[in-house]
Amino acid sequence: MTVVVTGVSGSGKTTIGTLLAEALNCRFVDADVLHSEQNIDKMRRGTPLTDVDRAPWLAAINAVMLESVARDEDLVVGCSALKQRYRTQLAHGLSIRWVYLKGSVELIGNRLRRRTNHFMHADMLASQFDALEEPSDAFVVDVSAPTIAIVQSILAQLRAPRRSSTPD
């Protein structure tokens, strides 16, 4: 199983993804570590990435997920994947279970302002929400809930039988 935890910066992808991977006894990959130094430098300067900037990053994430599937390993990935076309690129050749961490601008903005040592600044949050295309095929989780409740909710949804896409 490949699970991608999505949401804007500060929504909790790393925290929730790490705990989810621990509960599933599998590896967690924070997609941020796959960004090029040039991308990280741009974001540190407060410059949003372009689709050209993101293309190699998305390809690298897809490659990590494909390698995991080839090894028959479960994997949880934390990745913003704000737009549908990014999620389509990430899913190329894969069956992915999507988890969307949804929260208000106020809540997430407060989290970002308290966060230190991260390249994504709180003043870039508006551009994240502007770019966000909420996924229609994801488990939607309210990030205002306690962390453990969020993880338990995701686990319950992942363990539930998958719904058929064909009518009975």
pLDDT at 163: 62
Question: What is the rounded average pLDDT of the residues 4-28?
Answer: 95
The answer to whether residue 164 scores a pLDDT higher than 70 is no
Question: What is the rounded average pLDDT of the residues 140-167?
Answer: 85
Strands (E), the chain: 2-6, 27-30, 75-78, 96-102, 138-142
Give the pLDDT band of residue 124 (cuts 50, 70, 90).
low
How does pLDDT run across 128-152, given as a tens digit for each residue? 788 889 999 999 999 999 999 999 9
Helix, coil or strand: residue 57 = helix
The answer to whether residue 46 scores a pLDDT higher than 60 is yes
Domain 2-159: CATH superfamily, name plus number: P-loop containing nucleotide triphosphate hydrolases (3.40.50.300)
8 A C-beta contact, residue 136 and residue 42: no
DSSP assignments along 31-49, one per residue: GGGGS-HHHHHHHHTTPPP
Give the pLDDT band of residue 117 (cuts 50, 70, 90).
low
User: pTM here?
Assistant: 0.85
Cα gap 164→34, rounded to integer Å: 34
The sheet carrying 27-30 orders its strands as: 27-30, 75-78, 2-6, 96-102, 138-142
Cα gap 108→143, rounded to integer Å: 9
Question: What is the rounded average pLDDT of the residues 63-86?
Answer: 96
Give the pLDDT band of residue 29 (cuts 50, 70, 90).
very high
pLDDT at 129: 80
The percent of residues above 70 in pLDDT, for the chain, comes to 88
- Average predicted confidence (pLDDT) for the chain: 87
User: Token match 């040039």: residue?
Assistant: 38
Count of residues in the chain: 168
